[in-house]
């Protein structure tokens, strides 16, 4: 139910965004219509009485334009605020990717049209009023009008840009220009090496570190995950650990000694065969595309053989909030075994021990990549007893709910609405179907 509520809320938000865009367009048209009318009537100079002299409409035109600017900027800010929310909580990965992409490529010209047009209206009203002469251009009130009329236009426009900047900072709408180059260079290097940890990749990370050392505020682009002290083993597409070259380890030691913060980026470790390597911080894996290990579990329902157990991801999760996912899945930390990670995830997410899972079997492995997230996934399948099913609990506070679906219904859901299903469940479902068919 919670997942349905989330999807319904997002749909309402998308509809509200469209309505707000329409309102912004409507206010823009009204601005042009009213201002044109006021300037036209004012220029006629029709004088019924002193109070009804149409020439005074010229003085009113810029203020009407400014009032409309407040409405236009308000609607425009609402559109960007909704877009920023959808970037993090959108109904699909495609929508979130689009909101991120468009957020970094805003139209730089359209926002300037509002104050420039209003200023043009002010200049036009000024010239027309002076051309018409008395009584409009006499007295201190006219001089006061000349001085203060442009102020609200540009003051509100400056404040509007402050609000947009704060929104961008709060939601990470775009990476600061100072970090874009070094980060893009690191991503290209890692991509060229197919997600592998190489000497060139560590050197590129060191250059990015140097830039953040000069301006620590740039680290905000990596979000809350930067504060996590979890390190992951870099592996190739087959899941084989990638050892670090001797020169790479030596460079890391030198840099970590000179700049202790580099220890939040990499950590030295020893593989089971005695070779040295560097573990990569979880946040850096996701920011740069280093391939790392994950483990995933399908659980058959104990009483309904045609049903499979699912979780609904927490709404506060950065990735795939509110979507259906496997009941237990997570990263394999450091050099720990896949089995140890599997046992830990079961306890953290479902509150059960690995001994509670019957008929446990490995279904296979596969490599996955999406943007800068590259994983080697190991997939398991098991079954809970009825007693353990009743004890099942959402042990992880990032897990919203536990539910179950008939397998054929889940298959139809993935085919018809893949945006409602997290990538782990979508990617691993083929292995699960093959195991059930066998």
Q: What is the CATH number of the domain that holds 322?
A: 3.90.79.10
- Same-domain pairing of 25 and 161: yes
- Same-domain pairing of 16 and 111: yes
Q: Is the pLDDT at 84 greater than 70, yes or no?
A: no
Q: Cis link prior to 135 (omega < 30° from 0)?
A: yes
- Same-domain pairing of 317 and 431: yes
Q: Which of 317, 301, 313 is nearest to 392 (CA)?
A: 301
pLDDT digits (tens, 9 = 90+) for 45-64: 555 444 456 667 777 788 88
Share of the chain above pLDDT 90, in %: 33
* The pLDDT value given to residue 231: 96
* Those residues with Cβ within 8 angstroms of residue 207's Cβ, 6 or more apart along the chain or in another chain: 182, 185, 186
pLDDT digits (tens, 9 = 90+) for 304-353: 989 999 988 877 776 778 889 998 899 999 999 998 998 888 888 787 88
Residues 365, 237: Cα–Cα separation, whole Å: 10
Number of independent structural domains in the chain:
3
CA 56 to chain centre: 50
**Do 429 and 409 form a contact (C-beta atoms < 8 A)?**
no
**Do 206 and 183 form a contact (C-beta atoms < 8 A)?**
no
The domain boundary residue, chosen from 265, 288, 311: 288
Over range 422-437, report the average pLDDT. Answer: 94
Confidence of residue 18 (pLDDT cuts 50, 70, 90): confident
Residues 310, 300: Cα–Cα separation, whole Å: 10
- Same-domain pairing of 251 and 375: no
- Same-domain pairing of 49 and 150: yes
- Same-domain pairing of 234 and 339: no
**Do 234 and 241 form a contact (C-beta atoms < 8 A)?**
yes
Helices 110-132 and 57-89 meet at what angle, rounded to 10?
180
- Same-domain pairing of 304 and 206: no
Q: Is 195 left (phi over 0), alpha (psi -120 to 50) or beta?
A: left
The domain boundary residue, chosen from 171, 193, 225: 171
The domain boundary residue, chosen from 264, 288, 312: 288
- Same-domain pairing of 10 and 111: yes
- Same-domain pairing of 43 and 150: yes
Q: Is the pLDDT at 381 greater than 90, yes or no?
A: yes
- Same-domain pairing of 253 and 106: no
- Same-domain pairing of 225 and 237: yes
Query: Domain span at residue 248?
Result: 177-288
**Do 209 and 265 form a contact (C-beta atoms < 8 A)?**
yes
Instruction: Retrieve residue 411's tokens.
Output: 């298959």
Instruction: Retrieve residue 412's tokens.
Output: 């139809």
* The pLDDT value given to residue 333: 95
- Same-domain pairing of 152 and 103: yes
């Amino acid at each position: 139910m919670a997942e349905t509520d989330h999807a319904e809320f997002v749909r309402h938000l998308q509809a509200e965004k469209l309505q707000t865009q329409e309102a912004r367009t409507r206010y823009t048209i009204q601005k042009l219509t009213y201002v044109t009318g006021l300037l036209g009537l004012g220029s006629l100079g029709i004088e019924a009485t002193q109070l009804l002299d149409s020439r005074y409409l010229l003085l009113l035109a810029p203020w009407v334009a400014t009032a409309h600017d407040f409405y236009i900027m308000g609607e425009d800010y609402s559109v960007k605020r909704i877009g920023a929310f959808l970037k993090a909580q959108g109904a699909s990965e495609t929508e979130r990717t689009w909101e991120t992409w468009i957020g970094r490529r805003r139209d730089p010209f359209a926002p300037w049209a509002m104050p420039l047009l209003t200023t043009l209206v002010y200049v036009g009203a000024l010239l027309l009023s002076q051309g018409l002469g008395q009584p409009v251009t006499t007295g201190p009130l006219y001089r006061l009008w000349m001085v203060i009329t442009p102020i609200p236009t540009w003051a509100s426009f400056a404040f509007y840009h402050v609000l947009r900047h704060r929104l961008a900072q709060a939601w990470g709408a775009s990476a600061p220009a100072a970090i874009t180059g070094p980060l893009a260079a690191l991503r290209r290097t890692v991509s060229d090496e197919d997600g592998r940890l190489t000497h060139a990749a560590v050197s590129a990370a060191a250059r990015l570190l140097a830039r953040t050392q000069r301006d620590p505020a740039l680290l905000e682009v990596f979000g809350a995950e930067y504060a996590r002290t979890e390190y992951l083993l870099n592996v190739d597409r087959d899941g084989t650990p990638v050892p670090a070259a001797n020169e790479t380890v030596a460079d890391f030691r030198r840099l970590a000694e000179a700049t202790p913060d580099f220890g939040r980026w990499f950590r030295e470790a020893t593989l089971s065969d005695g070779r040295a390597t560097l573990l990569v911080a979880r946040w850096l894996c996701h920011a740069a595309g280093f391939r790392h290990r994950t483990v995933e579990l399908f659980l058959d329902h104990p009483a309904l053989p045609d049903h499979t157990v699912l979780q609904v991801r927490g709404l506060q999760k950065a990735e795939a909030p509110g979507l259906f996912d496997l009941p237990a899945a997570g990263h394999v930390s450091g050099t720990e075994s896949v089995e140890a990670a599997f046992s830990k995830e079961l306890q953290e997410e479902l509150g059960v021990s690995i001994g509670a899972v019957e008929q446990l079997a490995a279904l296979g492995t596969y490599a996955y990549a999406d943007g800068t997230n590259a994983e080697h996934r190991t997939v398991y399948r098991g079954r809970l007893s009825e007693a353990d099913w009743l004890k099942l609990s959402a042990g992880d506070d990032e897990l919203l709910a536990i539910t179950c679906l008939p397998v054929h219904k889940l298959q139809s859901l993935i085919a018809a609405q893949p945006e409602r299903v997290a990538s782990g469940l979508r990617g691993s479902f083929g292995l699960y179907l093959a195991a059930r068919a066998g």
